Amino acid sequence: MWLTRPFSERSTQLFLGVLIAAMTLVTFLHLALPESNPLYVNAYTVNLFGKYLSYALLAVAVDLVWGYLGILSLGHGAFFALGGYAMGMYLMRQIGDRGVYGHPELPDFMVFLNWDSLPWYWAGFDMAWFAFLMVLLAPGLLALVFGFLAFRSRVTGVYLSIITQALTFALMLAFFRNEMGFGGNNGLTDFRDILGFNLRSDSVRLGLFLATGVALGLGYLICRAIASSKLGRVCVATRDAEARTRFLGYRVERFQLFVFVVSAMLAGVAGALYVPQVGIINPSEFSPLFSIEIVLWVALGGRATLYGAVIGAILVNYAKTIFTGVMPEAWLFALGAMFVLVTVFLPKGVAGLLAYRRKNSTSSSTPGNTSNTKEVSA
């Protein structure tokens, strides 16, 4: 089975090892230690880690398209948010008649905006399986349609980036509209239960944290499997010499579409795990600024390495938590500086540095991926 292939790679083993170790450690420190203990990890922190992990998954998804396919998507926030909304709608339905108006079916914001019945597209979201399916399908379909149009007409490079940005911007405006029935600017919030468990209990938070960890592991595995398969090499080929790949008889646009859709779905899953942990989803997740920030995580961590994306996501967001806490004014400066410095001085990102320190790596035009493609073909 192709999905299990990556296990033979050192980088994968290492990554999964670290991930599992970290998860068990946090769990232990949270459960077994008394609160008085300095090492005790409280629910707040667990929750924070959970958020970071969902961001990491999102970053992995972006790295798959950017690093391996060379498509710089400035609209992945849209897929993330769509997944989030799908989950949010499920959680809203779970509130049932415990809303402030005690309406059996309608969410509060619909009641006080005088909606008499649930819009058709809310149907089915009271069923977990349907909602979770939507978490995959909603972003997937958007990516499919958008990607199909774009790749067929060979919109690539900068143009594609700009168009993806326009896409997420348009969606943001759309979701801000209250007529859309997604709560407008306030979005969806005040969640209560997920699968019958109280979202406001620490143990459920721990559960979500672990679930996110597992999702990240799986997502990483999928991306890695794709990257190190022959298809992955076709992607790299497309990235470096699209025309050549065509002349070799590959239907480039379909490969691009396939990977793009997979990536979008992963982003959706990340969003779905993000929402119950932060407790709100609103259109600001669609903002182009957020989408660009994701790309920075990847760039900082190092493109086309996947684990680099994870490192980047966690580093940047940790820094954000610290900065906005200690010296808020400085955060945007720091973020801006990161963008400049990383792109100018650190094109291969942190992972690049690591690779360089391991063995002053080959002068290949892309970071990382030469190291892991050998084992597969051999």
| 169-188: contacts with other proteins (CB under 8 A) | 169-170, 173-174, 176-178, 184-187
The residue among 24, 50, 28, 22 whose CA lies nearest residue 40 is: 28
Stretch of residues binding other proteins (CB under 8 A), selected from 6-14, 53-61, 264-272, 368-376 = 368-376
Q: How far is the CB of 131 from other proteins (least distance, A)?
A: 18
Q: Which pair of structure tokens corresponds to residue 330?
A: 């400085």
Taking the least distance from each CB to other proteins, the nearer of 124 and 258 is: 258
How many residues make contact with other proteins (CB under 8 A)? 135
- Helix, coil or strand: residue 315: helix
Q: Which pair of structure tokens corresponds to residue 139?
A: 């972003």
Q: How far is the CB of 64 from other proteins (least distance, A)?
A: 13
Q: Which pair of structure tokens corresponds to residue 126?
A: 């009271």
Contact 60, 266 (CB under 8 A): yes
The residue among 357, 353, 67, 70 whose CA lies nearest residue 220 is: 67
Binding mask 280-309 for other proteins (x = CB under 8 A): x-x-x---xx--x--xx--x----------
Q: How far is the CB of 310 from other proteins (least distance, A)?
A: 19
Extended beta strands in the chain, E state: 188-189, 193-194, 197-198, 280-281
Q: Cα angle vertex 315, ends 311, 320, to 5°? A: 150
Binding mask 42-81 for other proteins (x = CB under 8 A): xxx--xx--x--------------------x---------
Contact 368, 308 (CB under 8 A): yes
Stretch of residues binding other proteins (CB under 8 A), selected from 7-15, 18-26, 92-100, 126-134 = 92-100
Contact 81, 167 (CB under 8 A): no
Residue selected from 2, 121, 318, 356 as contacting other proteins according to rule CB under 8 A: 2
Which residues are paired to 281 by β-bridges?
188
Q: Does 8 bind other proteins (CB under 8 A)?
A: no
Using CB under 8 A, which residues numbered 313 to 342 contact other proteins?
324-325, 328-329, 331-333, 335-340, 342
Q: Does 377 bind other proteins (CB under 8 A)?
A: yes
Residue selected from 14, 18, 133, 241 as contacting other proteins according to rule CB under 8 A: 241
